[in-house]
Amino acid sequence: MTRKIYSLLTSIFCLFLLTTATAQDSGNARANLKFNAQPKHMWEVGVHAGHFMVVGDVLPRPSFGAGFHVRRALDYAWSLRLDAMYGRALGLEPRNSAGSHVPANPVLSGLGYGGTNAWYHNFKTEFFSVDVQGVFSLNSFNFNNQTRKWNWYVIGGPGINTYKAYYDATDGSGNIHDFNSVDAGLDPENSRDDRKDAASNVKDILDGDYETRAETASGRRSGDGESRQVNVHATFGAGVSYRINEKFNIGIEHQVKAIFGNEADLVDGYRWNSSGVKTQYRDLINYTNIRLNFNIGDSEKASEPLWWVSPMDLLADDIAEVKARPKIDMTDSDGDGVIDMIDQEKNSVAGYPVDTRGIALDSDGDGVVDGLDKEPYTPAGYVNTVDADGIAAIPNPNYTSEDDVNRIVDAKIAANAAATPVPSYSDWFLPMIHFDFNKYSLKNSSFGSLHHVATVMKQNPEVKVVVTGHTDRTSSNCYNEVLSYNRSETAINYLVGKYGISRDRLVLRYGGEENNLVATNAKNMMNRRVEFSVANGETEMGKPDCRANAGSGAGGTNFQGNKEAGY
């Protein structure tokens, strides 16, 4: 049953959203227009609390409820609200109910009430509900103010609820209460004052524990302390909100919830039954509450929720802007094609070309307008040498002859004919590569430099290259020499395996922590390096014999080689 109720409410909610979306889409014929009467708007979230009571078979007592909601405008009149609440209701009947009603209540009769044991109806109900409510703003068509201060509205919609009702039927020892002396000397049936006295006497007897689960329906009429029934209900109500500012408003609202199903008359824990006669009436949930509402969103990019905004806002702003525009006067006194409203030279000479401001053109900026300028495009650099007709005084050019050109070219060739000494291999600059702290594996940034070294060696097969490893000064000298050796060996293995460089063309050497580029004893990437230089008689150094293993890394790639390369 519970699963069916959830499915029904989910279907109703989805159908409502689909209908709303379809209605909005059908109005999008203006989607291609620049004007849209519905701006982007904020969400509303809020909390509420107030008086909660059950109107049923037992007189209600002051009780309390609280909850929260999320609300979103669908248009200027309609909005959708998800509302959740918890309430605790109390009730006490000051008139004796044992003789006519207790026998039909298996919970009370099972405890021993009825007959000579008087009973006074009392209850406590814990109620929780979730609603999907449609909210209609009654002043949506009031266009007097762009932003409203008051919002009157009505609500309605389906929801689900669950509740538990309890009796205060026994004392701390588990014995039923003795109510037989409550109405001694009183006539609560006919006297209001006597009913007040009887109610006061009952309160004195009750311990306020409400330990007994009230009668339930759906085959559980004996009452079950753990059972909980999920019910469907409809909510109706009305309210009014007052706008404090663009982010906050406060309201008061009253809701009535009508429950459907077998549990509808048991919210207060009782069916109003006489012995042998069952008469069922639906209990009504009443909740009068104060609401604190907050608008969520960026006020710079979105308006307040649409129930606070007049649909005429955008139109009114546009009309006001249009009315504020100056009237267009098409008069053109000098006939230059630029109306007087924007003409900065209203007495232009007829026939002279003008720019968009109505000012006579002077294309070359020589101070003579084009209408009088006999040379309207004076060469650059001579605008200050023009005469009254705009003609520039340009001296005869001093051209260079063909013979002069040939003489200059021959002199340039002769000056560069001297043989330029070719630098020796030892003057070549080869790049260096760097390593992470305590590592001898290659970094991605090193592959380009290694490619450069390999290219030079392939283009100059007679050249040998010295590969010298270095470290910083953060460990012992022995450890650093082994780490330097490992770094040189990694670079050599990569050149041999990747590019096929013969191993005997590479001379492995290491310098440990000597010859640091940066004079520091701290970690430094510039000092953790391998340098490449053209060999000039250097011999290869063997691995340091200090029984140390330094650093970590495997060369940075999988090497492949050939026998001819010596690898």
Domain count, the chain: 2
The model's pLDDT over 224-241, given as tens digits with 9 standing for 90+, comes to 556 678 999 999 999 999
With H, G, I as helix, E, B as strand and everything else as coil, classify residue 479: helix
* Per-residue confidence (pLDDT) for residue 250, from 0 to 100: 97
Q: How much of the chain, in percent, has pLDDT values that exceed 70? A: 82
Task: Kindly report the average pLDDT of the chain as a whole number.
Answer: 82
- Domain termination residue (choose one: 316, 346, 362): 316
Q: For the chain, how many helices (H) and strands (E)?
A: 7, 13
The residue among 526, 507, 503 whose CA lies nearest residue 515 is 526
* Per-residue confidence (pLDDT) for residue 562, from 0 to 100: 41
- Statement: residue 443 has pLDDT above 70: yes
The answer to the question of residue 554 being in a domain is yes
The answer to the question of residue 363 being in a domain is no
Same domain, 434 and 308: no
Where is average pLDDT lowest: 208-217, 520-529, 556-565? Answer: 556-565
Q: Average pLDDT in the 19-47 region?
A: 62
* Per-residue confidence (pLDDT) for residue 106, from 0 to 100: 84
The answer to the question of residue 190 being in a domain is yes
Instruction: Tell me the whole-structure pTM to 2 decimals.
Output: 0.53
Q: Average pLDDT in the 538-567 region?
A: 63
Q: What range defines the domain where residue 300 resides?
A: 2-12+39-316
Q: Average pLDDT in the 120-136 region?
A: 95
With H, G, I as helix, E, B as strand and everything else as coil, classify residue 215: coil
Which of the pair, 7 or 151, is modelled with greater confidence? Answer: 151
* Per-residue confidence (pLDDT) for residue 27, from 0 to 100: 47
The answer to the question of residue 32 being in a domain is no
The residue among 376, 330, 380, 333 whose CA lies nearest residue 353 is 376
With H, G, I as helix, E, B as strand and everything else as coil, classify residue 157: strand
- Domain termination residue (choose one: 286, 316, 346): 316
Give the model's confidence band at 20: pLDDT under 50 very low, under 70 low, under 90 confident, else very high: very low
Rounded to whole angstroms, how far apart are CA atoms 109 and 98? 9
Same domain, 311 and 443: no
Same domain, 54 and 198: yes
Which of the pair, 208 or 276, is modelled with greater confidence? Answer: 208
The model's pLDDT over 464-496, given as tens digits with 9 standing for 90+, comes to 999 999 998 888 888 888 999 999 999 999 999
Which of the pair, 251 or 390, is modelled with greater confidence? Answer: 251
The answer to the question of residue 184 being in a domain is yes
Same domain, 312 and 431: no
Contacts of 371 (CB under 8 A, 6+ apart): 349, 351, 352, 353, 360
Strongest mean pLDDT among 152-161, 182-191, 351-360: 152-161
The amino acid that residue 376 corresponds to is P
Rounded to whole angstroms, how far apart are CA atoms 448 and 330? 70
- Statement: residue 31 has pLDDT above 50: no
Q: Average pLDDT in the 29-42 region?
A: 62
**Could you tell me the two tokens for 554?**
């495997």
Task: Please say whether the beta carbons of 339 and 329 come within 8 A.
Answer: yes
The residue among 299, 315, 245 whose CA lies nearest residue 76 is 315
Give the model's confidence band at 418: pLDDT under 50 very low, under 70 low, under 90 confident, else very high: low
* Per-residue confidence (pLDDT) for residue 98, from 0 to 100: 67
The answer to the question of residue 23 being in a domain is no
The answer to the question of residue 239 being in a domain is yes
- Statement: residue 263 has pLDDT above 90: no
Which of the pair, 113 or 238, is modelled with greater confidence? Answer: 238
We report the CATH number of the domain holding residue 179 as 2.40.160.20
For residue 362, CA distances in Å to 211, 325, 335, 373, 381 come to 102, 33, 19, 8, 16
The answer to the question of residue 300 being in a domain is yes
- Domain termination residue (choose one: 247, 281, 316): 316
Q: Name the DSSP class of 56.
A: S
We report the CATH number of the domain holding residue 521 as 3.30.1330.60
The model's pLDDT over 299-350, given as tens digits with 9 standing for 90+, comes to 888 889 988 887 766 666 667 777 777 777 788 777 778 887 877 887 888 8
- Report the length, in residues, of the chain: 567
Rounded to whole angstroms, how far apart are CA atoms 207 and 259? 30
